Chains A and B, each alone.
Chain A
Amino acid sequence: MIDKRVGNLAEAVAGVRDGAVVLCGGFGEAGLPNALCEALIEEGARDLTVVANNAGTGRRGLAALMAARRVRKIICSFPRSSGSVVFEELYAKGEIELELVPQGIISERMRCAAAGLGGFYSPVSVGTRLAEGKEHREIDGRVYVLEKPLKGDVALIAADRGDRWGNLTYRKSARNFNPTMAMAADLAIAQVREIVELGDLDPEVIVTPGIFVDRLVALPRV
């Protein structure tokens, strides 16, 4: 029997090791796995590399994980947004490393890892500072740079509903990076608003099939 449900957030994030690459879903506050990020503080893993579009807002979730000094490096397209106070403090003090990657390239690099590919040539960033040091190649008259796959040890996913097989659905723009990240990590952990019976999710609307998900935890009801 397949049952990926775990009883609580601590079980959900158990075993994440020091130095792990953690893919963290979300765009702004939408689809951000705040509860899993906070559980990771309790779990204790240090020296993490976090891949996320934004560098957290306010003091909760990803921001709390950074404030607890667990994040050595963040790979991110847009670290600074309204309320990214924790990141800005750490960055100003030189206590967090930033690797800036164009937004679509972050997601495509993760997709690439998920698909078992060794990289891809992209026209994005050619002629700019972000292309420095990358292999350039002209293909049919257009110049591209080589982008390498970006794989996670762990993915923290926020979804709307899930079942015991790990099938997931999302809600509106809270989908964002979550489906790609779920596919691109060795261990994908999903927090969901509701766990439903197997068969209750319409197969036509499942966005992340359970094959990509390892653990599933329902958020405590507010």
Chain B
Amino acid sequence: MPLTRRQIAWRAAQDLKDGAYVNLGIGLPTLVSDYIPEGREIVFQSENGVLGVGPAPGANAADPDLINAGKQPITLVTGGSYVHHTDSFLMIRGGHLDCALLGAFEVSDKGDLANWTTDDPRFPPGVGGAMDLAVGAKEIRVLVEHTTKGGAPRLVRRCQYPLTAERVVKRIYTDLAVIDVTTQGFLLREIAEGIDVSGLQAKTEAPLRAAPDLKPLRAPVV
């Protein structure tokens, strides 16, 4: 059974260590904060100068001065703080974040990341903080559906879309697998139930190596 988008977020959340400072990208990664295991204190950073992002405010409690990178209203946790943009990106670029969880269009088996533009001529391109995050956080993990809606692999030998950064992705969470990017390419750590390694390989452009301790990828109903 493939994981739902929320289950992918749940799975990524399980790997965040107590005390980690983490940036969540727009879209699927934003859901990760809903599934932090009990007892762990994780500090979420938002590129627009918020350290200690809390849950969305209740109805009518939104403050237009307090938003996240996706421009949605947020709250600040107890202990949180505000900084200006230059300091926020000093945190991001200078290796002060333990981890950034990002979305992607494609990831290569060398860890190249393409997540900022598809070159669709109908829209002007936007890069935002993607390139700063991709080279700056201590570890880059990607949350992405294993294939496009049309079934094309997103885990590839070489990205076709313009790169965000080269050789930065360390771990990938998809609806079908958890995969590490190693010097020998993709290492399959966990695989969803109902699909075998050859079935997964058919949906993955670059070669997969199964880890000796390959585990089933399971997530609760969330």
Is A102 interfacial (CB-CB < 8 Å)? yes
Q: Nearest residue in B to A25 (C-beta to C-beta)? A: B85
Whether A173 lies near B126 (C-beta < 8 A) is: no
Whether B127 lies near A100 (C-beta < 8 A) is: yes
Whether A104 lies near B132 (C-beta < 8 A) is: yes
Shortest A155–chain B CB gap in Å is 13
Is B15 interfacial (CB-CB < 8 Å)? no
Stretch at the interface among B62-70, B96-104, B177-185: B62-70
Stretch at the interface among B28-36, B139-147, B157-165, B196-204: B157-165
Whether A172 lies near B65 (C-beta < 8 A) is: yes
**Residue picked from B124, B162, B166, most chain A C-beta under 10 Å:** B124
Whether A80 lies near B85 (C-beta < 8 A) is: no
Task: Mark each residue of chain B from 118 to 160: 1 if its CB lies under 8 Å from any CB of chain A, else 0.
Answer: 0000011111111110011000000000000000000000000
Which residues of chain B are near A100, meaning CB under 8 Å? 125-127
Whether B136 lies near A124 (C-beta < 8 A) is: yes
Whether A78 touches B48, Cβ cut-off 8 Å, given contacts A31-B65, A126-B135, A173-B65, is no
Shortest B129–chain A CB gap in Å is 4
Task: Mark each residue of chain A from 155 to 197: 1 if its CB lies under 8 Å from any CB of chain B, else 0.
Answer: 0000000000000001111111111100000000000000000
Whether A28 touches B93, Cβ cut-off 8 Å, given contacts A104-B132, A130-B131, is no
Whether A29 lies near B71 (C-beta < 8 A) is: yes
Whether A103 touches B47, Cβ cut-off 8 Å, given contacts A87-B124, A108-B89, A175-B82, is yes
Which residues of chain A are near B50, meaning CB under 8 Å? 172-173
Shortest B53–chain A CB gap in Å is 10
CB < 8 Å neighbour of A103 from B125, B127, B135, B166: B127
Shortest A120–chain B CB gap in Å is 11
Q: Nearest residue in B to A83 (C-beta to C-beta)? A: B71
Shortest A100–chain B CB gap in Å is 6
Whether A124 lies near B49 (C-beta < 8 A) is: no
Whether B85 lies near A107 (C-beta < 8 A) is: yes
Which residues of chain B are near A19, meaning CB under 8 Å? none
Whether B129 lies near A173 (C-beta < 8 A) is: no
Is A207 interfacial (CB-CB < 8 Å)? yes
Q: How many A-B residue pairs have CB under 8 A?
A: 139
Whether A128 touches B164, Cβ cut-off 8 Å, given contacts A82-B71, A171-B65, A172-B63, is yes
Whether A108 lies near B166 (C-beta < 8 A) is: no
Is A8 interfacial (CB-CB < 8 Å)? no
Which residues of chain B are near A111, meaning CB under 8 Å? 86
Q: Nearest residue in B to A111 (C-beta to C-beta)? A: B86
Name the interface residues of B20-55: CB closer than 8 Å to any CB of A: 46-50
Whether B71 lies near A175 (C-beta < 8 A) is: no
Shortest A90–chain B CB gap in Å is 10
| Distance, CA A91 to CA B85, complexed state (A) | 26
Whether B85 lies near A177 (C-beta < 8 A) is: yes
Is B76 interfacial (CB-CB < 8 Å)? yes
Task: Mark each residue of chain A from 140 to 159: 1 if its CB lies under 8 Å from any CB of chain B, else 0.
Answer: 00000000000000000000
Shortest B73–chain A CB gap in Å is 10
| Distance, CA A87 to CA B123, complexed state (A) | 11
Whether B124 lies near A88 (C-beta < 8 A) is: yes
| Distance, CA A122 to CA B64, complexed state (A) | 33
**Residue picked from A78, A110, A207, most chain B C-beta under 10 Å:** A78
CB < 8 Å neighbour of B124 from A80, A177, A180: A80
Is B188 interfacial (CB-CB < 8 Å)? no
Whether A102 lies near B129 (C-beta < 8 A) is: yes
Closest 10 CB pairs of A and B: A104-B89, A104-B132, A28-B71, A127-B166, A78-B126, A78-B128, A174-B65, A103-B129, A172-B65, A102-B131
Apart from A27-B67, A80-B126, A107-B85, 15 more pairs, CB < 8 Å: A29-B71, A30-B67, A76-B126, A80-B124, A80-B125, A91-B124, A102-B128, A104-B132, A105-B131, A128-B131, A128-B164, A170-B82, A176-B49, A177-B85, A179-B86
Give residues in B with beta carbon < 8 Å to A. Answer: 46-50, 63-67, 71, 76, 82-86, 88-89, 92-93, 123-132, 135-136, 162-166
Q: Would you mind naming 5 contact pairs between A and B with Cβ atoms under 8 Å apart?
A: A77-B128, A98-B124, A102-B127, A107-B86, A130-B131
